[in-house]
Amino acid sequence: MHLIVGLGNPGSKYQGNRHNIGFMAVDEIVRRHGFSPWRKRFQGETSEGVLEGEKVLVLKPMTYMNESGRSVGEAMRFYDVDPANLLVLYDELDLEPGKMRVKLGGGAAGHNGIRSMIAHCGPYFVRVRLGIGHPGDKAMVHPHVLSDFAKADKAWLEPLLDAVADHIPLLVKGDEGSFQNKVHLALNPAPEKPPKKAEN
């Protein structure tokens, strides 16, 4: 079984925050692939479905970001999920808005949700880092992540969420390279070549 986790904060107050891009991404995965309705379990909300013939549980921890690992650890233990089959989607300050990177393992890099995940689940899970950009000043980081996406951000946010949801089956299959590549191509389509001029 695969466990796909989106990180965010619960409640309508935080719904549109940059910090909640993980919730937004898994909402789109559930919608796109026709997963079951959300239900409350494991101190969070869960939805179930199948991708690439694999049973998948999607989880949104409702513990607040800095306690996310409690909820995820509970679900992992219940289903005996291998850490390599745990995929976590979250906001990344050190990536430009609309960029995405995948990596296995590593430290928390100052992200409280990931720090909690490492404490409860160990470090060896797959991270899908969704770029929200850095405000440029360390003092502005907190208000930046806890403020809503601007209307102008929709131009890159919606295509990013669409591309991640479309190609997530590749990641479930363990094909990280193809997943990154397909998302990148969806967001940066090759320019059309001009038609060749007819030779006289």
Query: Domains in the chain, start-ordered, CATH in brackets?
Result: 2-187 (3.40.50.1470)
Cross-sheet strand order for the sheet of 44-51: 39-41, 44-51, 54-61, 2-6, 86-92, 126-131, 100-104
Query: Please, which residues have CB within 8 angstroms of residue 64's CB and are 6 or more apart in sequence?
Result: 9, 10
- Print pLDDT tens along the chain (200 aa): 999 999 999 998 989 999 899 999 999 999 999 999 999 999 999 999 999 888 999 999 999 888 998 999 999 999 999 988 999 999 988 888 989 999 887 777 778 888 998 988 888 899 999 999 887 778 888 888 888 898 989 999 999 999 999 999 999 998 888 998 899 988 887 676 666 665 65
**37-76: burial string, b at 16+ Cβ within 10 Å, e else:** ebeeebbbbbbebebeeeebbbbbbbbbbebbbbbbbbbb
DSSP-derived letter for residue 17 is B
d(CA 200, CA 198): 6
3-state secondary structure of 122: coil
Residues belonging to the active site: 19
> Of 151, 123, 135, whose CA–CA distance to 93 is shortest?
135
CA-CA distance, 20 to 73, in Å (whole number)? 20
For tokens 């909402």, name the residue.
Answer: 27
